[in-house]
Structure 1
Amino acid sequence: MFRKSFQVTPRVASSIRMMSSKGPDHDTAGSIRAAGGSFAKMEVAHEEEYFYKLRQEQLHKLKEKKSSELEFREKAIKDHEEAINRHKQAIDELQ
């Protein structure tokens, strides 16, 4: 029994090597897009839609971040101006 499985193994290994060998078009082997037709067009459309939505989401997050950062900076400016006015009033009271 062991001998029989041992004899099959070299044939299997050689066929696996042949199937995995990279030919001139190894990047597109088995790809739906490479086959062409309506499935390829649909795949391209889905891919473009995915990246469009991803860019829109990233842009939305960036705008939210910039908006919250702007609000934070404006509040910090207001707080500093109030502190300056308090210090000016304290100086005026001392004089």
Structure 2
Amino acid sequence: MNSVCRKIVSTNSIRHLRFMSQLGDLGSGAGKGGGGGGSIREAGGAFGKTEAAREEEFFYKKQKEQLKQLKSHLHDEISFHEEQIKRHQEAIARHKEGVKKIQETEK
């Protein structure tokens, strides 16, 4: 697994764990789980909800950027392998032509 894939997997895992560990509305204050993720979020209220929304937006944008990078990387990989296929097909054609010439000289 390449580094771009690993980053996306780890970010998704962290995000999933954050959601699973929350026992209430985001930003509504410290929950039964033993902590809320910072003094503003623990206090709850409008500031806590705003900070929770900003945090969610940050992770959403981060994940979107990582997916964009992964897509670009995969397009580059596809182009590379298509070029390699083309080169191998040209080499196969050259070798077949060489075999054909040898067979003609043997007759």
Same fold (TM over 0.5): yes
Structure 1 residue 93 and structure 2 residue 98: aligned?
Answer: no
Matches within 5 A, 1:16-95: 27=35, 31-95=39-103
Deviant stretches of 4+, over 3 Å: none
CA distance in 2 between counterparts of 1:79 and 1:27 reads 59
SS of the aligned residue for 1:66 comes to helix
For 2:101 and 2:53, locate their aligned partners in 1 and report how far apart those are by CA, in whole Å: 72
Higher relative contact order, chain-length normalized (CA < 8 Å, sep 6+)? 2
Corresponding residue pairs, total:
71
Query: In the TM superposition, what is the alpha-carbon distance from 1:90 to its structure 2 partner?
Result: 1.2
Taking the aligned partners of 1:70 and 1:59, their CA distance within structure 2 comes to 16
Q: Which runs of 5+ in 1 are unaligned?
A: 1-25
Instruction: Tell me the TM-score normalised to structure 1 length.
Output: 0.67
Superposed CA offset, 1:44-64 (max 9, x none): 010000000000011011111
Percent identity between the two aligned chains = 51
Aligned-residue CA RMSD (Å):
2.0
Which structure would you say has the larger Rg?
1
Q: Residue deviations 1:33-89, cap 9 Å, x none?
A: 111111111000100000000000110111111110011011101100110001101
* Cα distance in 1 for residues equivalent to 2:72 and 2:56: 24
Q: Which residue of 1 aligns with 2:10?
A: none
Q: Any stretches of 5+ residues in structure 2 without a counterpart?
A: 1-33
2:6 matched residue in structure 1: none
Query: Which SS does the other structure have where 1:48 is aligned?
Result: helix
